[in-house]
Structure 1
Amino acid sequence: MRNHMAAGWFYSPSQIVRHFSTRLSSLSPPKNMLRNPVAILQELTSHQWLMFAAGFLGWTWDSFDFFTVSMTIIEISEAFDVSYSDVSWV
């Protein structure tokens, strides 16, 4: 095999062609059978349910915080005596 490192290439031209010719077929996801989501949820342990609930509550509280600040941006800027852009970073 010829040394392609001297030419600045790490891979030979035949390796590059082989890579791109097989790339499209390797990008398609496998065709697995779909499982019933109810059966998957029934397999969760109590610890996994608690972790799911904690994540869901955190996500819900984060969205509440985001929209609360978005809806009260005028009052916040007036309370701190700054412009709207100073509060919202716009």
Structure 2
Amino acid sequence: MSESPPTPPGAAPEQQPRNPLHGVTLEAMVTALADHYGWAGLGERIPVRCFNVDPSVGSSLRFLRKTPWAREKVEGLYLFMLRDIRRSGGR
């Protein structure tokens, strides 16, 4: 029984073709969500200050990188948005 060797540090990780979040940066997620829903709509769906008070990608990234529960909500909403776009034919 042979196992694949561990990936050395700095090497490319294994491909994850079935993981829609693989290779998507947090910045890309926030930007796509803000483009799709608008900042007001994003703030309604995830009620955090960085989306509701003087929103920007930079302030959102600073908050989300420090707050795992909020980052999980953003990832979940991003996946929901992708499914919604797929269902509606890519509007």
Q: Scaled by the length of structure 1, what TM-score is found?
A: 0.27
Larger radius of gyration: 1
Higher RCO (Cα < 8 Å, 6 or more apart): 2
